[in-house]
Structure 1
């Protein structure tokens, strides 16, 4: 099964110039914990509720702080044509619960999460990914080695 069969589509984007407060409101309205950050038709980062909590609130930054100051700049991703098993293993290896999904032209087409894997693909791949993600052994970050970074979006 390909990632395109399990991913969430209709992904909303945030600009790096928008404030962290605006990003947090978008997350609240959409009931999500992660937003892709795009500028000039290019994926330039990701911002998570954890980024806002730790890098903005925890650092006493203003709610007007631009997203670019707290986002994760290295974007780890998978392709829509990747097999679900490979994406789940990638998530386990780099210890993330969600990955942006790109087309072969490096255009954002969705996000795949552990929840997507569990609901649509069943517990096997999601469970294996969760075990890898939960295993101790490094920083919990979008910038771990082992992922791929797009050059153009």
Structure 2
């Protein structure tokens, strides 16, 4: 009698495992294996994640790329001299880099709320630079800042894929 119940329990567990695995496979197929398909800026997202299919690895790659691009923007801001906008942008970029480094820690610790908070803080820092630049018209930083906004926006999207 106990063997009969054990066999039934085994079948139930097998059915449950199959259902769960099929659900995960369906979720990945929903994205077509392309994590960036539903990103706000898919082309920019694809270049940041370089074909990775694991959301954690893709998020890590996107953060590294965003840090690298923010460092480039910070160097460009330094070339503006001690102008008000240049100084605000340098400080904003330094803040954003700190926030993005914290994002890497959040990701390693599977701290999704912290990841979202720090990505949003970096996005806000880019906005602070935008505000400073708006008083000075077009600047070489304007285009770079737009790209940083798009990358951070994609990062927030990628964070939604992490469970």
TM-score tier by shorter-chain length is under 0.3
Higher strand share: 1
Instruction: Pick the structure with greater CA Rg.
Output: 2
| TM-score, length-scaled by structure 2 | 0.26
**Superposition TM-score, scaled by structure 1 size:** 0.27
